[in-house]
Amino acid sequence: MAEKVYLGKTISVTDEGYLTDASQWTKEIALEIAKEEGLTLTDKHFAVIDYIRERVLKGEALTIRSIGKSGVIDTKGFYELFPGAPLKKATKIAGVAKPVSCV
């Protein structure tokens, strides 16, 4: 277990930087994590982040496919918003656990 200071607040995170307590998350913290990932968040990013938080906090598993079918964004758009490893990046910025899905 590690800790990180975002905007003067101490947040507990995993070794890979994922928040361990989703309730510590705020939009301002999301902007900071995104900065570390080299991303500037727009409303479009936040629409996806809100969707991810809603799903995960309900206890549902995330896959790239389900996000592409969410109606919030299509798969291609998801890869464009969070280039490289979208599911990993988006969940990290959304302050939820790293997904364990293979698809």
Partner 1 sequence: MANLDHPIKKVMIICAKANIEDVYAALVMANGAVMEGIEAKVFFTFFGLDAITKKQMKKLHTATVGNPGMRMPGGLPFPSILGMLPGVEAGVSAMMKSQMEKLDIPPVDEFLELITAGGGEIYACKLAVEMFKLKKEDFSEHVKDIITIGQFYELAAGEGTQIIFT
Q: Would you count residue 64 as binding partner 1 (CB under 8 A)? A: yes
Return the range that interacts with partner 1 (CB under 8 A); candidates 3-11, 29-37, 42-50, 75-83.
75-83
Residues 5, 100, 102, 103: which is the catalytic one? 102
Q: Would you count residue 79 as binding partner 1 (CB under 8 A)? A: yes
Q: 19 in helix, strand or coil?
A: strand
Q: Would you count residue 87 as binding partner 1 (CB under 8 A)? A: yes
Are residues 30 and 95 in contact, defined by beta-carbon separation less than 8 angstroms? yes
Return the range that interacts with partner 1 (CB under 8 A); candidates 20-28, 29-37, 38-46, 61-69.
61-69
What pairs with residue 6 in β-bridges? 9
Secondary structure tally for the chain: helices H, strands E: 5, 2
Q: Has 102 been annotated as catalytic?
A: yes
In sequence order, what E strands does the chain have?
Answer: 2-6, 9-13
The residues annotated with a catalytic role in the active site are: 102
